[in-house]
Amino acid sequence: MESEQFLKLDNQLCFAIYACSREITRLYRPFLDELGITYPQFLTLTVLWEHKRLTVKEIGERLFLDSGTLTPMLKRMEAMELVKRVRGTEDERKVYIALTERGEQLREDALNLPEKCIPHFGLTKDEYSGLLNQMNQMIESLQKVTR
């Protein structure tokens, strides 16, 4: 039947996406190594470059990560002096994350990172944005079920 076909590794989109995600991380790694950060740390900085100051929860909402992942990572980033962690005063449950000078400056070094990496994806501009759309659509569909 069809079931048999779907169970083959080569026919599984989920495996292709999982493998692709790891290959992209591998592509980014040498560039990120130069900056002294990991890929998830780069994503965290990316949202902070856009929003300056966010709570742990707000970062989590954007990256789809929870405090179990973020808290230890943000502590490492604080130790590297990339971010400051400040407990809220009006609501003491919240912890605000803001960039340090160093965290701000890192943006300049990261600015050309996408341009250096994206060409290796082997996609045309249209394919890139088409794929971006489809992926975001898919994420939305999936989140309706998984949340």
The reply to whether 118 sits near a second copy by the rule CB under 8 A is yes
* Count, residues near a second copy per rule CB under 8 A: 64
Give the torsion through C-alpha atoms of 67, 141, 124, 37, to 10 deg. 10
Q: Report the side by side order of strands in the sheet with 53-55.
A: 53-55, 95-99, 83-87
CA distance 26 to 24: 5
Using the minimum distance from each CB to DNA, give the nearer residue, 1 or 9: 9
Partner in contact with 66, chosen from DNA, a second copy, none, beta carbon below 5 to 8 Å by kind? DNA
- Exactly one of 90, 91, 126, 146 binds a second copy (CB under 8 A); which one? 146
- Which residues have CB under 8 Å from 117's CB, separation 6+? 24, 27, 28, 31
- Exactly one of 41, 45, 99, 110 binds DNA (CB under 7 A); which one? 41
Q: Which residue has the tokens 């995600």?
A: 21
The reply to whether 126 sits near a second copy by the rule CB under 8 A is no
Residues of this chain that bind DNA (CB under 7 A): 18, 22, 25-26, 29, 38-41, 55-58, 60, 64-74, 76, 85, 90-96
